[in-house]
Amino acid sequence: MRPWFRRRRVGLGWRPITWEGWLVSAAAFGLVAAVLVFLRRSPERFPIVILVLAVYAVVALRTGGASAAPAAATRAGSEEPTAPPEPVGTAPVRTPRPAPSGPPMLVVEHLAKRFGERLAVDDVSFEVAAGEVFGFLGPNGAGKTTTVRMLGTLVAPTAGSAVVAGIPLTPANGLEIRQRIAVMPENPGLYLRLTVTENLEFFAGLYGLRRPGDRIAAALEAVNLRARADDLCGNLSKGLRQRVGLARAILGDPAVLFLDEPTSGLDPVATREVHGLIDDLRDRGVTVFLTTHRLEEAERLCDRVAILNTSLRSIGRTDELRDRLFRKRLLVTTAAPVTDPAHVFGGVPGVTAWESSDSRGYELTVTDPGLAAPAVARALVAADADILSLSEERHSLEDVYLELISDDVEAKGA
């Protein structure tokens, strides 16, 4: 059940955040006022008032007011992050998440789209689980936007089938699908001479939403823009406009959210804010379909990625794609050349091949770096070699991407 109340971060008490919460609050304070008016001379009025307020407190606590809202990456209306910045020049450390489970939100089978003689999307098949952040990567002209437009019911596929948010992708089901999804393009398309709230009220009316005030308040709370609700969108930075675009996208509480380059043109602070919002959406169970050219962004956010160039080149978790494409290797540097390296490395369990990168550097192909590295270190120490460094060779998502499309004629011409 959606919480009715939220404990105030500053001061005492609870703040109603839904119409049910406001109704309970109005009833409680109306009853208190009636008791004070009609029993103003009775000594029983104070115990009755205390009883009403106690019941109100119990209802607030039981319906979501037991704890404060989780701290967001930024305070409302602030451009400054509250989380410590990541070290410059290092890849973000990402705790592995368990694979999303449950029924898939997107099922695509042999989807294709042709525009005249040009084949834009060719025989694409994949599934996206509920609550998953799914990255859709590829060069310009690869068919990413066309795929999103097909799944969003904006263009009809030439061949193949799909199920979107549990609904078969057919012309007859277009309206029902659009009620279960949201699409946020790279340019959110806000009316700059309207305030944030006026923009959301306008789109809520287009969507035909019931109780738009509650939806707008919840959306602004989700993107930390309550303090900027009355600001003109034309006076906001691009990062804040992107957050307004996200608020508009989640107004209808979509099951699937399509995001097209949500951080394009944003500075690092605004980019991190958007990343935090995407993580929050994942935690709420929203399935996010993310198209981006920022490979480090996809590696940081996505549970799985698909690499497309008209047809699907590969799909899976980043570590799975690395294991498919690259050999596992250890990189060793010693203070002086190793005497008889063939004997030293050849007798180490798990080392299948080795080669010298220079007079003091060696690259070892191994079956399991975690098991082979200690054995290699022991073998080098036994051979009286001074180890300067011993590390596993790491490949980024960019390496995977370039390996998959480097020899692709279409990609080179995109």
pLDDT of residue 71: 36
Q: Is the pLDDT of residue 308 over 50?
A: yes
- If phi over 0 gives left and psi between -120 and 50 gives alpha, with beta otherwise, what is residue 66? alpha
Alpha carbon of 366 to those of 135, 350, 360, 362: distances in Å? 30, 5, 19, 12
Do 317 and 269 lie in one domain? The reply is: yes
Q: Give per-residue pLDDT as tens, 58-86.
A: 777 777 655 444 333 333 333 333 344 44
| % of the chain surpassing 70 pLDDT | 84
Q: Among the ranges 47-61, 178-192, 319-333, which has the highest mean pLDDT value? A: 178-192
Do 235 and 344 lie in one domain? The reply is: no
Q: φ, ψ for residue 306 (rounded to 5)? A: -120, 135
Domain count, the chain: 3
Q: Which two tokens stand for residue 305?
A: 């990625």
145 close to 291: Cβ distance less than 8 angstroms: yes
Q: Give per-residue pLDDT as tens, 14-57.
A: 667 676 777 878 888 888 787 777 777 777 777 887 887 788 77
Please report whether residue 123 resides in a domain.
yes
Do 332 and 316 lie in one domain? The reply is: no
Residue 245's closest CA among 255, 256, 258? 258
Report residue 96's pLDDT band, with 50, 70 and 90 as the boundaries: low
Residue 33's closest CA among 7, 5, 13, 52? 52
Q: What is the CATH number of the domain that holds 366?
A: 3.30.70.1560
Do 37 and 152 lie in one domain? The reply is: no
Specify the 3-state DSSP secondary structure of 152: coil
Q: Which residue range(s) make up the domain with 352? A: 327-394
pLDDT of residue 292: 85
Please report whether residue 96 resides in a domain.
no
Least confident of 7-21, 220-234, 355-369: 7-21
Amino acid in the structure at residue 389: S
Please report whether residue 71 resides in a domain.
no
Do 208 and 355 lie in one domain? The reply is: no
Q: Is the pLDDT of residue 353 over 80?
A: yes
Give the Cβ contact number of residue 120 at 10 Å: 20
238 close to 269: Cβ distance less than 8 angstroms: no
Q: Which two tokens stand for residue 81?
A: 């992050």
pLDDT of residue 177: 94
Do 306 and 159 lie in one domain? The reply is: yes
Please report whether residue 386 resides in a domain.
yes
Q: What is the pTM of this model?
A: 0.63
Please give the average per-residue pLDDT across 136-150, as a whole number.
89
Please give the mean pLDDT across all residues of the chain.
81
Please report whether residue 110 resides in a domain.
yes
Strand pairing class (104-115; 118-129): antiparallel
Do 168 and 312 lie in one domain? The reply is: yes
